[in-house]
Structure 1
């Protein structure tokens, strides 16, 4: 029996009432709710109602606040709760980002004072899971359908020096291994932290704040049948695979920093998981159009996936054979996926590879692209 789980991801809100920092985020404690299109949360609730979106759980990979702004922290978490309620999510789970910690506090114990007193259901629901999270820098939540590992990647960000590096030590890796040994490997496995477990550089930015020994963590997660790792922090959505674990960097829900340099927009994600593979649906936000599907050829796809294990060449051949068998020259991606569902689980780079192979070997075009999902057409070019 295939196990299914649907999760929403709301990351990097950077909510603040700091006058000097208001321009870096769309979300403030006093952001007017009318017109709804200009308020990211109200606009999202409108989309949720219109499209009847529902999820099982909501994940928040950190940076709820901006520069640990206390009012922004409380308001940001309230916004997260509003979104979860609109989605009928059964649970909310979060972790801390670097902006959720007072890394320049006078005393180390003050660094996490706001986070530890925010609310009884933050960052996780169960008191025992909270105790484990604060004591061991991680917790593992196991429910009927899934196992969720949450790592606190800012656990030692209590002064300027320690906050310059992100790491997971061997002792913590050993504790995680011992904890995972007690879980049911047949359940869906998801991991989450704020920082990324492997390099996330692009053409404009170097990358020095990924988790040291993150590759060992990914290897361990693969050993215990985890297939998806979710993080925030970079404000640039990306999906790739390392050590057989798919790594999804969530886009920023409402922060404006770094967006111009990365061709990214504010984003909201829903991931539909089927055992060890999944479909990632994403919406972009704009203050004029609200939350909408991005059908352009740039940025992160509005629909993509992970977990495809086959060969792109074989998939391209199967699509060509499908068109020959159907005796058609024009169709659409929705009909094709009904017979060849592997297309749904292609990462963005694999989507592009398949399109290139289809046009070069079989003169088949996908317009405007696989990234556009059911709106895409399949056309056989006739010379």
Structure 2
């Protein structure tokens, strides 16, 4: 892979669940563990097989949380092992995992016997602290060291981990669940405390070099900007999220990767004319019984130009969707985020639409692939950009046609 290509594989909201310990386990996730300690279907193995068959590689594997369901300890440990297995299959050097609300005991422990059940584990994060290799950051190809333990202490003590020692990027893993308690009002949303905000800014400021900037990547569970598409709620955004993004913008250009909503969305947060890329990863494996038609099980490989450290970060996405019995590269617009979208500076969409209209054959139309070859900035359109582009093309009597599966097929020009 080119030296300036940084590939990030993303899997989110896996919700591994142990059928023996969680009621209605199969409702929650495809990744259901049997009493014998095995997965009860081929869902996960199909993912591993797809990665190996297609030679899918990444520099780091990111998981924005909810690797298990209801913080059940046996499933959490099992899920951690499987994430490390996936990282190895992808030949990653780094596994970075943020804490999700289902990864901690914020919903409390059922008390059957008020005396005997006092021996149960009531700590919100004890199971996470006991994971091996040390959670939340794993250096895949290195022997576990004291540094890994120090990272773990820092993450659970300051609610973030800043890893600036990568050549191409700065990595921040943020624990947006750190302020959760068993109070239902608390565990429904994410938080960035004032202390976490201040300490993170201090760490970023001390390492920031304006003459030798690096791409910034922040991984967290909750969404720092509002995400209420398809009626999925406005109450659970990250408190302090806007302030967090504005602070990040003082120290380079950033890509934020989060989960929680189960719905994929690729957008920007604008701070003046400066834009932060915000990628909401859809759920890898939440069961279809728990989703509606606007949700799709997906995993992603983001290909980023790490040499572009000025202006909006630039990259493209390969999106793989679960097609009922196998994983497939998806270009379906109805999936929300699909192969063929990306992010970056693309200029004025109205001017771009006018230029594209002049390249469309008036009789036979022009294949979308040919249009993208002529206008490569289209590779960096977020899904909303393509919606706006389609509207602008209609001014020039150009229609976007799609296949039966919802993939953009060609542009056709009708008579005025």
Q: 1:98 to 1:241 in 2, by over 3 A?
A: same
Matched, 1:83 2:86: yes
Q: 1:2 to 1:79 in 2, by over 3 A?
A: closer
Of 321, 327, 337, 1:291 maps to 327
| Aligned 1:349-364 pairs, distance under 5 A | 349-358=384-393, 360-364=394-398
For residue 379 of structure 1, what is the aligned residue in structure 2? 412
Deviation at 1:227, TM superposition (A): 2.7
CA distance in 1, matches of 2:204, 2:281: 25
The question of whether the paired residues in 2 share the 8 Å contact of 1:267 and 1:284 is answered with: yes
Matched, 1:177 2:201: yes
CA distance in 2, matches of 1:197, 1:43: 32
Unaligned runs of 5+ in 2: 110-117, 139-147
For residue 71 of structure 2, what is the aligned residue in structure 1? 68
Deviation at 1:138, TM superposition (A): 0.5
Q: Compute the TM-score of the two structures, normalised by the length of structure 2.
A: 0.82
The question of whether the paired residues in 1 share the 8 Å contact of 2:189 and 2:222 is answered with: no
CA distance in 1, matches of 2:250, 2:96: 23
CA-to-aligned-CA distance 1:123-166 (integer Å, 9 cap, x gap): 11333322221111001112001111111011122432542442
For residue 129 of structure 2, what is the aligned residue in structure 1? 116
Of 228, 235, 240, 2:262 maps to 235
Deviation at 1:320, TM superposition (A): 2.6
Matched, 1:9 2:10: yes
CA distance in 2, matches of 1:262, 1:207: 20
Aligned residues: 374
Q: 1:21 to 1:309 in 2, by over 3 A?
A: same
Deviation at 1:336, TM superposition (A): 2.8
The question of whether the paired residues in 1 share the 8 Å contact of 2:264 and 2:337 is answered with: no
Matched, 1:147 2:170: yes
Structure 1 vs Structure 2 CA RMSD: 2.7
Q: Compute the TM-score of the two structures, normalised by the length of structure 1.
A: 0.89
Unaligned runs of 5+ in 1: none
Of 55, 66, 77, 2:58 maps to 55
CA-to-aligned-CA distance 1:204-234 (integer Å, 9 cap, x gap): 2322111111000011112222331111111
Q: 1:257 to 1:97 in 2, by over 3 A?
A: farther
Matched, 1:168 2:202: no
